[in-house]
Amino acid sequence: MPTRELTQGQRCYFRDQLREGRAVALKDAEDFHPIVTALERLGSVLHPKGRGLGDYKEGLLKIAQKGSSAPVDGDDRNLVMPLATLYTSVQNGRNDALHQGAYARHLTRHCIELAIFIEDGLMAEMDRVSDFMVRDPSVAELWQPLAFARQKMLSNSFSFLPIRVDTEWMFLSDYQVARYLSQAADRSVIRTRIDEAYEHCPGILKVANCVPGDRLVADVLRDFDGDPVLVVRGEELLGIATPFDFL
């Protein structure tokens, strides 16, 4: 069955779909459905006449094998399940009616592993920071209380929230929020607005490293200081990227 070639936009789109599916699976160890749905959608683009994971196997494995992390020989078997075996496990699990308990957790783990390989293959030929950034990132606003920023961080496992201060993008970090709260006389300071906290303690915000979307990932990582980078176009915020996104 001939395989359609994906555009760069399609590669990024399906990579993001698989990422989102993995995020759901990490929150619920038995919820593999978003990953399987993303795989089926990707497969249907590659093989419009296909009718399920069985028909999509050749095209999806072809993508996975393009990634540098894909198992290449028998020596990997002790560390990583072969792609074909992993795919068959996901395919069989998808078709099985029993999706509870240990069985569902086992299937979810295999879905996550397969998704990672396919994501790697989708991005194999991309090297610009805009290809890997998380689009439309959550931001904080100066008028919001620290309690709201803290809740957003904890709910989404964010370590940094971009925030606009005049004409400059800055970061509010979980470390600085925790430090600010720990040094306060009582916990009620958490209701303080971010701009008021910044006025009393300028160190609570840090100037963000902003880069254009066409910057090479290798160049960005070479100058990395450990904080995320913001991807901008002029004053417009396009996305955010961390070392985790470049893995």
CATH number at residue 181: 3.10.580.10
Q: Which amino acid is at 73?
A: D
Residues 135 and 198 in one domain: yes
In a domain, 198, yes or no: yes
Residues 118 and 14 in one domain: yes
Residues 55 and 158 in one domain: no
In a domain, 65, yes or no: yes
Residues 167 and 202 in one domain: yes
Close Cβ partners of 199 (under 8 Å, ≥ 6 residues apart): none
Residues 211 and 235 in one domain: yes
pLDDT reported for residue 96:
74
> Domain range spanning residue 79?
8-125
In a domain, 1, yes or no: no
In a domain, 186, yes or no: yes
In a domain, 72, yes or no: yes
Residues 183 and 105 in one domain: no
What values do phi and psi take at 112, rounded to 5?
A: -60, -45
Residues 121 and 143 in one domain: no
- Which of these three, 125, 154, 184, is where a domain ends? 125
pLDDT reported for residue 72:
65
pLDDT reported for residue 5:
87
In a domain, 33, yes or no: yes
Residues 96 and 151 in one domain: no
Residues 192 and 109 in one domain: no
pLDDT reported for residue 57:
93
In a domain, 112, yes or no: yes
- Which of these three, 125, 142, 159, is where a domain ends? 125
pLDDT tens series, the chain, 247 aa: 566 789 999 999 999 999 999 999 988 888 999 999 999 999 999 999 888 899 999 999 999 998 877 776 555 556 778 888 899 999 988 877 556 677 788 889 999 999 999 999 999 889 999 999 999 899 999 999 999 999 999 988 899 999 999 999 999 999 999 999 898 878 888 999 999 999 999 999 999 999 999 999 999 998 888 889 999 998 899 999 998 888 8
Residues 117 and 157 in one domain: no
Q: Cα(55)–Cα(64) distance, rounded to whole angstroms?
A: 16
Residues 85 and 135 in one domain: no
Residue in the block written with tokens 């999806």:
60
Q: Decide if 205 contacts 165 (C-beta within 8 A).
A: yes
pLDDT reported for residue 128:
93
What are the residues facing 239 on neighbouring strands? 135, 231
Neighbouring C-beta atoms of residue 162, cutoff 10 Å: 20
Q: Cα(71)–Cα(90) distance, rounded to whole angstroms?
A: 17
In a domain, 2, yes or no: no
Q: Tell me how many domains the chain contains.
A: 2
- Which of these three, 73, 91, 125, is where a domain ends? 125
Residues 32 and 65 in one domain: yes
